[in-house]
Amino acid sequence: MAKAFENRGGLFDKKGSAPLLLAHRGYTNDAPENTLVSFLHAAKRHFWAIETDVHLTLDGILVCCHNSSLKKMYGSDVKIEEHTLKELYEERVTAGNCVGDYTAGEMRLPLFDEYLDICRKSGCVPFIETKKNVVEETLFAVKKFDLVDHAVLSSVDFTHIETARALNKDIFVHHIFSTEELMEKISDLGYGGLSYNYPNLDEVPAGLIERTHEAGVRLCLRAGDSRETADRMIEMGLDYIPTNKIAPSDFE
């Protein structure tokens, strides 16, 4: 018998006619990734969810950045975990779309709390990827903002998913680039989802989406960067769509 989907707190309720679009690292068409302005642009465009990545500073503060080093976006080969927040606040984003359109203050490293505040005020789902194991600290912050039943904790590292479920039975967990074997484990953990690593939609094995749904697990593929691709993902039965390019207004 297929497992029933859970939708605690209305996490997967559709808003209007748009699919459940996930702004990957914020809305990066108009701002550099993982900046306060990219999160604000996503919120203003009414995305279902805003994705970010979290790291812990030397003095124990959660911040938003994809890599453990600031080299890619900030131009400085500075490791987040080796520096205090005060030191990291001296760095400014130097790469990414429209970087010259923003003030120095808008291009500083964002606090995870600032990201959560934007999500809470806008109603967007926080879709949080843990890189190193900062699961406990991340869950503490999400709980502080009263967003546990309106958030997703994701990771490539399956041990992070297991840790999250052990610490909290209510948050939705999502495993990145998963497998059918691990999908069964997510099913056992309950209230979870995953992404499979099939960039080419034609390569998705027959029956995979149906088997995943039968296990009560939601899923997505990466990434719906055009309306055509997103429409096909919807037809295939995917539950939410990460994107770097399109917005809910593209479906109006």
On whether the CB atoms of residues 76 and 91 are closer than 8 A, the answer is yes
pLDDT in tens, 88-101: 999 999 999 999 99
> What pLDDT sits at residue 14?
77
Structure tokens at 225: 């960067």
| Token code pair at residue 88 | 């990291």
N-terminal to C-terminal alpha carbon distance within the chain: 37
Per the structure, the complete domain to which residue 173 belongs is given by: 17-53+110-246
- Report pLDDT for 91: 98
Number of domains observed in the structure of the chain: 1
Judge whether 221 lies within some domain.
yes
Q: Dump pLDDT digits (tens) for 171-189.
A: 999 999 999 999 999 999 9
**43 within some domain:** yes
Task: Indicate which CATH number applies to the domain containing 131.
Answer: 3.20.20.190
What does each C-alpha distance from 225 to 37, 45, 51 come to in angstroms? Answer: 20, 16, 15
Residue 138 host element (H or E) = helix 135-144
Averaged over 122-146, what is the pLDDT?
97
Residue 86 above 90 pLDDT?
yes
Is residue 82 assigned to a domain?
Answer: no
Q: Does the residue 173 lie in any domain?
A: yes
Read off the pLDDT of residues 18-66 as tens digits, 9 standing for 90 and up: 799 999 999 999 999 999 999 999 999 999 999 999 999 999 999 999 9
Residue 162 to residue 175: CA distance in whole angstroms: 10
Reply yes or no on whether the pLDDT at 109 is more than 90.
Answer: yes
What is the rounded distance in angstroms from the CA atom of residue 203 to the CA atom of residue 166?
34
Tell me the whole-structure pTM to 2 decimals.
0.97
Give the angle subtended at the CA of 250 by the CAs of 244 and 252, to the nearest 5°: 150
Q: Which two tokens stand for residue 31?
A: 């701002």
Confidence of residue 67 (pLDDT cuts 50, 70, 90): very high
Domain assignment of residue 102, yes or no: no
User: Is the pLDDT reported for residue 15 higher than 70?
Assistant: no
pLDDT at 251 over 70: yes
- Within a domain: 137: yes
Is residue 10 in a domain?
no
Q: What is the mean pLDDT of residues 200-220?
A: 97
Higher pLDDT, 2 or 206: 206
Q: What is the pLDDT of residue 17?
A: 61
Of all residues in the chain, what percent carry a pLDDT higher than 90? 93
In a domain, 179, yes or no: yes
